[in-house]
Chain A
Amino acid sequence: MVLDIRTKLLVMLLTATCVSLNNNVAVEIGMMLILSLLLILCTKNLHDLWLLLLYFGFVAIEFLVFPVVPDTVSMLLSMPVVNIRGFFPVLLCVFLIYKTTEVSQMMATFTKMHIPKKLIITLAVAVRYIPSLIEEWHHIRDAMAVRNVTGGIRNPVRRILLRVECYLVPLFISMIRTADGLSAAAIARGIDEPVTPTCRRYTRLRAIDYLMMTAAIALTAGCFYFTYFRG
C-alpha cells in the first residue's frame, strides 16, 4: 500500500491528539495494533514490528513485574515503562513516514502545498541525514571496539565519560562535515534557483488516501467520545 505524505502526516497529527487525550491502556494497545498493521501494509516487512514487540515488552513489565517488585523499583522504572510507552503510537507514525517516504516526494508535495522553500530544505536535509547518522554510529562503534580507548584507566566514572566523549567527538565532526558537504553540493546543483522547482514526484491524493484519512478521523472521534462520555 502506498500512502501520500499528507495522509501520513494527518495520521500522525491525529495519533498525537489521541495520545494526549487518552489514559486507557486498552485504547493505547488498540492504536498500536492498528498503526502496526498500517506500517506492515506499507513496508511489507515483518521486521518492522520490532517497535510493537518492544511496546508489548513495556506493557508486560507494567502488569506482570510492577506488582511483584518493591515500590521504589517500580517508581524508578515507571518513567520509561509507562510515560515513554505512551508516546509509542507517535513514534510508530514517525517511523512509518521515515521508512516509506522518499525525500523527493516529500519536497514535491510540500512545494505544491506552498510551504516555504527554506523549511522544506531543512526538513529534507534532516530526513536525508538519518540514514547517514546511523551509518556513522556503526563506524564509530567499530573503531572504538578495536581501539580500546579506555585502556590504562581504572576509575569507572572516567571510563564511562571517556567512552561517551569518544562517541561524540567523531560523531559531531562528521555531522558538521556531512552538513557542509550536503549544502555545498545542493547549492552547486542549483537548489537556490528563484523559480518554483518541478515536482516530478508529486502525485494527487488517491482513493486509498481519502479512505485512510476518513478512518483516522473516525477513530479519533471515537477516542474523543470514549474519553469524555464513557471513560
Chain B
Amino acid sequence: MITFEHVTFSYDNAESGVTDIDFTVQDGECVLLCGSSGCGKTTLTKMMNGLIPSFYTGKLEGKVSINRKNLADMEIYEISRMVSSVFQNPKTQFFNTDAESEITFPLENRGMDVKEINRRLQAVTAEFGIEKLLSKSLFEMSGGEQQIIAFASAYISDTDIIVLDEPSANLDAGAMQTVRRMLRKMKQAGKSIIVAEHRLAYLNGIVDTVHYLENGRLTHTWKASDFYSMQDSQRRELSLRDLHETAEIPQLPDVYTLGSANSATDIKNALTADQLLLKRGKKTWDYPVNFQFPMGKIICVVGENGMGKSTFLRTLAGLEKEQSGAVLLDGRALRKKQRRRTFGMVMQNVDHQLFSDTVTGECRLGNGAVSDEQITEILDLLQLSDYREQHPQSLSGGQRQRVTIAAVLLSGKQILLLDEPTSGLDYGNMMTVSRALRAHAANGGLCIVVTHDTELIRALYA
C-alpha cells in the first residue's frame, strides 16, 4: 500500500512541484495520474521510486510511505526492491546494449544467483512471448520494442509495485496495444500499478482509480467507470485527450492514405508527386506514391506501420533521395537540394531542432527579415508570448514543440511538413497547434501532417 500524506514538494531549481497531495494506492490497484503538461504527475512517480528527494533534490514536506515505511528514511536501492519503474524515454533508460542483460539488470544489481536469474528470464520470456526480440540489439529496436523490454525488466524484478511515467509517449497505435497487453498482465499478477499518462483511451478497462492534477494539486478523483463515462465537454475543459478508442481514421477528402492513388489533374498551384518510389538507406518501398496537394490545404498523411510515413516526409523535405519519380511544385520538378530550401519541416524529436538562446531568437534564426509584429502574432497564436525571452530548452515538452512550430511558421516557407506534431501534447496544446496550422492554410500555405492522432485530424477539419 502506498500512502501520500499531505505531501508538498518544490524542486531546487524552482521548477513547479506538487502541493498538499493526499491519497492511497491499495494493493493490486491500478491508478492513473492525469492532467495537462507540467501538472505534477511525473513528480509523483519520482516520489514513489525514491528519485525524489535523493536524486532530484528539493524541499519535501509530508510523508510518502510504502507499507507504512517512510520512503524518506530509505536508500533508493532499498526502495528499488519494492518498486519497479518504467520511464518515458526508452532511449535513456537503457544501461545495457543487449536485451537479455537489460531485462536482468535489476536482479544482477541485487546479486541474485545466476541460476535463479536465468530461470526467471526464461519464465518472463515465455510469458511475454519475446524470444525473437532477445537476439536483437537494443539500438536496432523500435520504440515499441524497447518499451516491451523495459516492461519485461520491471516485471522480472518481482516487486509488488510498478510505476510508469508516460510509457506510451513516442509510441504508435500498434505499440500502444502491446503496452496495454503488458499492463493487463501485470494487473492480473496482482501488482499495484501507478501510471502517469496523457493518452487515456488505451487504459480504459485496466485502471481502477483516476486522479487528476492541476498546477501541482490533486483536484479530482474518479472511479474508472465514472471517469470514462465523463461528458465530452467536461473532458475538454480539463484539457484531457480522448477517452475512447478511436483507432479508426476519419474518412475525409484531405486525409491521404500513403500509397493510395490520388491522381493529378491540374498541376498549377499544387504540390504533386509522380510515381515517387521511396528509399531510406538500404531499405526500399516498392509502391509508387502519386498525389496532388493543392495550396491552401492541410493534408493529413496516414498509413499502416512500416509503410514509410516518416521516410515519405523526409523524402519530400529533401533529406532522403527517392529511388525514382519526381516531386513537382507548380508542375516544375524539384531536386533534393531545392526541396530542402523550399519546404519547412518539424521533426518528431523537438530537442534537436532548437538552436537559439531565446524564443524570439529561435524565431529569427535563419530569417533575419522577420518583423517584431510577425513574431508577436505567431507567439500569441501559439500561446508563447509569456516566454519570449526564455531559453527554449528551459521550457516544457509541449512548449518546446510549439516553439519549433512557431519557428517554421515564421521561416517564410509556404509548404510545411510535420511529423507527429502532437504525440506528447495534452488537449489544450493540441488544439493550439491545430489552430496555428489552420491559420497557415487559410493564408494560402500547405501543411502536410503525418499523424496517428485521430483527435488532431478531427480538429484540423472541424
Which A residues contact B (CB, under 8 angstroms)? 102-104, 124-125, 128, 131-132, 135-136, 139-140, 142-153, 165-166, 169-170, 173-174, 177-178, 180-201
Q: Are A178 and B92 in contact (CB-based, < 8 A)?
A: yes
Structural contact, B81 and A190, CB atoms closer than 8 A: yes
A-B pairs with lowest CB-CB distance, top 9: A181-B92, A104-B101, A152-B368, A195-B111, A185-B93, A190-B109, A190-B80, A151-B366, A139-B352
The residue among B98, B105, B106, B318 with the most chain A CB atoms within 10 A of its own CB is B105
Task: List residues 6-58 of chain B with CB under 8 A from any CB of chain A.
Answer: 49-51, 55-56
Q: In the assembled complex, how far is the CB of residue B82 from the closest CB belonging to chain A, in whole angstroms?
A: 11
**Chain A residue at minimum C-beta to C-beta distance from B369:** A152
Known contacts A150-B366, A152-B369, A190-B109: A184-B319 contact under CB 8 Å: no
Q: Which residue of A lies closest to B56 (CB)?
A: A184
Q: Could you tell me if A146 and B344 are in contact, using CB atoms closer than 8 angstroms?
A: yes
Mind listing 22 A-B residue pairs with CB under 8 Å? A103-B95, A104-B96, A104-B97, A128-B95, A131-B139, A136-B352, A139-B349, A142-B314, A142-B319, A145-B319, A146-B319, A152-B368, A152-B369, A169-B354, A170-B352, A174-B352, A178-B91, A181-B93, A187-B51, A190-B77, A192-B75, A198-B108
Name which residue of chain B comes closest to A111, CB basis.
B108
- Please pick, from B80, B111, B356, the residue contacting A188 in the complex, using a CB distance under 8 A: B80
Q: Which of B112, B340, B349, B357 interacts with A198 by CB under 8 Å? A: B112
B139 contact set on A, CB distance < 8 A: 131, 135
13 A-B pairs besides A140-B352, A151-B366, A184-B55 with CB distance below 8 A are A103-B101, A104-B100, A128-B95, A148-B366, A170-B352, A173-B393, A181-B91, A185-B93, A185-B94, A188-B76, A189-B80, A189-B84, A198-B117
Contact B114 A198 (CB under 8 A): yes
Q: Are A173 and B351 CB-contacts (below 8 A) given A148-B341, A178-B92?
A: yes
A151 near B85: Cβ-Cβ < 8 Å: no
**Closest B residue by C-beta to A169:** B355
Q: How far is the CA of A147 from the CA of B363 in the complex (A)?
A: 11
Chain B residue at minimum C-beta to C-beta distance from A194 = B77
**How far is it, in angstroms, between the C-alpha of A173 and the C-alpha of B395 when the chains are bound?**
13
Q: Once the chains bind, are A152 and B366 in contact (CB under 8 Å)? A: yes
How distant is A99 from chain B, measured CB to nearest CB, in Å? Answer: 11
Q: Which residue of B lies closest to A121 (CB)?
A: B95
Are A185's CB and B95's CB within 8 A? yes
Chain A nearest CB: distance from B179 CB in Å? 18
- Which residues of chain A are within 8 angstroms of B101 by Cβ–Cβ distance? 102-104, 200-201
Quick one: which of A104, A143, A145, A189 has the most chain B CB within 10 A?
A: A189
Are B355 and A166 closer than 8 Å at their CB atoms? yes
Main secondary structure of the interface of A (DSSP, over half): helix
- State whether A146 and B95 are in contact (beta carbons under 8 Å apart), knowing that A189-B109, A193-B109 are contacts in the complex: no
CB of B95 within 8 A of CB of A149, answer: no
Chain A residues whose C-beta falls within 8 Å of the C-beta of B314 in the assembled complex: 142
Q: Shortest distance in angstroms between B447's beta carbon and chain A's nearest beta carbon?
A: 15
Contact present for A104 and B55 (CB under 8 Å): no
Nearest Cβ on chain B to A143's Cβ, whole angstroms:
4
A198 to chain B, nearest CB (A): 4
Q: Which of B104, B106, B343, B366 contacts A200 (CB 8 A)?
A: B104
Q: Does B89 contact A (CB under 8 A)?
A: yes
Q: Hey, which chain A residues are within 8 Å of B97, CB to CB?
A: 102-104, 128, 131
Contact A190 B98 (CB under 8 A): no
Chain A residue nearest to B370 in the complex (CB): A152
CB contacts (< 8 Å) of B319 on chain A: these are 142, 145-146
Complexed CA–CA distance, A166 and B357 (Å): 10
Which residue of A125, A145, A178, A200 contacts B114 across the interface (Cβ within 8 Å)?
A: A200
How long is the Cα–Cα vector from A147 to B355 in the complex, in angstroms? 10
In the assembled complex, B298 has its CB within 8 A of some CB on chain A: no
Within 8 Å CB of B393, what residues of A? Answer: 169, 173
A128: chain B residues within 8 A (beta carbon): 94-97
Contact B351 A177 (CB under 8 A): yes
In the complex, what distance in Å separates the CA atom of A188 from the CA atom of B355? 32
Given contacts A104-B98, A185-B85, whether A198 and B113 have CB atoms under 8 Å apart is yes
Q: What CA separation (Å) do A190 and B55 show in the bound complex?
A: 13
B317 within 8 A of A: yes
- Cβ-defined contact, B117 with A200, below 8 A: yes
* A103 surroundings in chain B (CB, below 8 A): 95-98, 101
Known: A139-B347, A174-B352, A187-B76. A147 touches B117 (CB 8 A): no
The one of A146, A149, A199, A200 in contact with B340, judged by C-beta atoms closer than 8 angstroms, is: A146
Q: Which residues of A contact B76 (CB under 8 A)?
A: 187-188, 190, 192
Name the B residues within 8 Å of A182 (CB-CB).
92-95
Which residues of A sit under 8 angstroms from B107, Cβ to Cβ?
Answer: 198
**Bound state CA distance, A194 and B108, in angstroms?**
12
Cα-based distance from A146 to B109 in the complex (angstroms)? 44
Contact B98 A147 (CB under 8 A): no
B262 near A: Cβ within 8 Å? no
State how many angstroms separate the Cβ of A194 from the closest Cβ of chain B: 7
Contacts of B104 in A (CB 8 A): 200
Contacts of A124 in B (CB 8 A): 95
Chain B proximity of A131: nearest CB distance (Å):
5
Q: Is the CB of B147 closer than 8 A to any CB of chain A?
A: no
User: What mask results when residues 103 to 147 of chain B are scored 1 for a CB within 8 Å of chain A, else 0?
Assistant: 011111111111001100000000000000000000100000000
Check A187/B355 contact, CB under 8 A, given A146-B345, A151-B366.
no
Contacts of A142 in B (CB 8 A): 314, 319, 347, 352
Residues of B within 8 A of A197 (CB): 108-111
Q: Within the complex, what minimum Cβ distance (angstroms) separates B421 from chain A?
A: 14
Contact with A along B353-382 (1 / 0, CB 8 A): 111110000000111110000000000000
| B80 with A185: CB separation less than 8 A | no
